[in-house]
Amino acid sequence: MAGRPGYVTVPILSVLAAIGYVYYTTVFLAIPAWLGLATAAGIANVVAFTALAAACVATYAAAISRDPGRVPTAFVPDVEDSDSPIHEIKRKGGDLRYCQKCSHYKPPRAHHCRVCRRCVLRMDHHCIWINNCVGHENYKIFLVFVLYAVIASLYSLVLIIGGAVHSLPKNEQLGSDSSRTSIIICGVILCPLALALTILLGWHVYLIFHNKTTIEYHEGVRAMWLAEKAGNLYHHPYDLGVYENLISVLGPNIFCWLCPVSSNTGNGIRFRTSYDIPLSTPPI
């Protein structure tokens, strides 16, 4: 049972505590100090930020509980299948990729996670903050959570700055000093948090545009170096063009791209490659 996704850990409790602290400071301290809870602007911001915080918690819970994708025990690569132009092989020996710990073959883009103690389909990385791997089945949910978290952090930072500025001349009110201190502390915490989340979001947007995982990016750097050393050019085989790459991760319905549901294409075992695209198809 070790490594099973869904267990509540200290990092998960830390994230939930941070969300609760930011929500309390923003809604009950910053907004009242700036806009007031009795005004239309104050109520509107409370409702909007509450909805955004609820979306963060919901997508975070989904990323924790959703299985990233299991390799079927009966999976065996068919090297004679003409519909599968690419079969990933080991670096040494050139054999088909086989997991000795799980005792089965690895589909393309699958990797073994030492923490979860099993192979994960289209594994991107293991995230300690969700106590789960980010893989084929929950990558979009993880991405949407990070997007909502970035928006919520920036939104809260604006409200907290406004609350801190407008609470300065109100030091004659009882308890205003402690409220102002809490607002300032929350702002100090939010600045590096928002920056880190924004960088994380930008990194995964870059990966999606090129249809890569974090593991494939680092493997691609080495492959590119080896190709250049041999006088060849390296091309990531799963890069289908920006639009097709977005569809493969976010789903075919553009109106559902920001919905916290896993609507990616494929079963995680067979992936379209650039070799599947006819030569007459114009590049995107």
Show which residues are catalytic: 127
Instruction: Give CA–CA dist 217/236, Å, rounded.
Output: 9
Distances (CA, A) of 184 to 28, 167, 175, 201, 209: 14, 11, 14, 25, 37
Residues paired with residue 132 on neighbouring β-strands, in sequence order: 127
Question: In Å, how far are 98, 121, 268, 269, 270 from 75, measured between CA atoms?
Answer: 11, 12, 12, 9, 11
Residue that is written with structure tokens 């041999």 in the block: 230
Q: Output the six-digit token pair for 175.
A: 């308890």
Residues 6+ positions from 72 with CB-CB distance below 8 Å: 269
